[in-house]
Amino acid sequence: MTAWSWIQAPEAKKLSLPAAVAIHMQVQLARTLRLRTLWPWLAVTLAVTLGGWAIVHFSVESADHFAEYVDTWGIRAIALVALGLGTAAVRQDTEAGALAFFLLRPQAKTALPIGRWLAVAVVAGALGVLSMLMLWLATRGTSAEMPFTDLASLLLAAALAATAYSATFVAIAIWARAAVGMSVGWLVLMDNLATNSTSFAAIAPSHYLATILGHASAPETTVLAAVAALLGWTALMLAAAVVRLQREPPMVQQG
């Protein structure tokens, strides 16, 4: 029995919340793990890796430029993957007219956003970790060579970036009619611009990711506090998505 048919079966009424979350995650993964869906994000991952390789081998001040590149493009690539997959996670059901039906099933108003977020975070995180690993390998034997301790920071930042950004864009997709436009606007205004202001850095996930990578500007934050802040942000976004679905199914118009 497929995940789709199981959701529609009478037995679905007996599902626990974790089981319902797992099914919605499975549904989204089945949609996402197709070449026609993944190829743009694979291309983004490859492009970021090639860019880092070029900086390491052709830049005069490769160490400084590489660190800035990882902060800017390495993390932004993960955010873009999360944006594309996160907004599509709700759009597909809305366009097919299936969202309202799914929300009638037991546990769905909580399980659907969490399951979709998990699926998006897993894919974005896997591509992000792969990208960071390849970027780290690109520095081996060069003047910008990074120690193994830096690899741990890169992988942790990639995983948390996927976690926080995926939750953000799934929540925006559930709340906003023009989810893609709103997500891009949030990424540019509330994340990029906030990072350049000490007054607003505390609300920017990229500030905490830069802290984990060891490149953060003021205000000073410890790595542990940065991890806690990103997990807290993720929980806040998921709570917002669940609250929205408790009211009424969103009528999403992507753009």
Spatial separation of the C-alpha atoms in residues 144 and 89, rounded to whole Å? 38
- Please confirm whether the linkage preceding 219 is cis (ω < 30° from 0): yes
Digits of tens for pLDDT over the chain (255 positions)? 344 444 454 445 567 888 888 988 998 899 899 999 899 999 999 999 999 888 887 775 666 778 778 877 889 999 999 999 999 887 766 655 556 556 656 577 888 889 999 999 999 999 999 999 998 888 888 777 888 888 999 999 999 999 999 999 999 988 887 888 999 999 888 776 666 777 777 788 888 898 898 876 656 778 999 999 999 999 999 999 999 888 765 554 444
Given a contact cutoff of 8 angstroms between Cβ atoms, the answer to whether 70 and 135 are in contact is yes
Spatial separation of the C-alpha atoms in residues 97 and 238, rounded to whole Å? 23
Residues comprising the chain, all counted? 255
Percent of the chain that is helix, strand, coil (3-state, to 5): 80, 0, 20
What is the per-residue pLDDT for 139?
85
Tokens representing residue 69 in the block: 């590149």
Spatial separation of the C-alpha atoms in residues 121 and 110, rounded to whole Å? 17
Q: What is the pTM of this model?
A: 0.87
What is the per-residue pLDDT for 68?
79
Given a contact cutoff of 8 angstroms between Cβ atoms, the answer to whether 167 and 234 are in contact is yes
What is the per-residue pLDDT for 251?
52
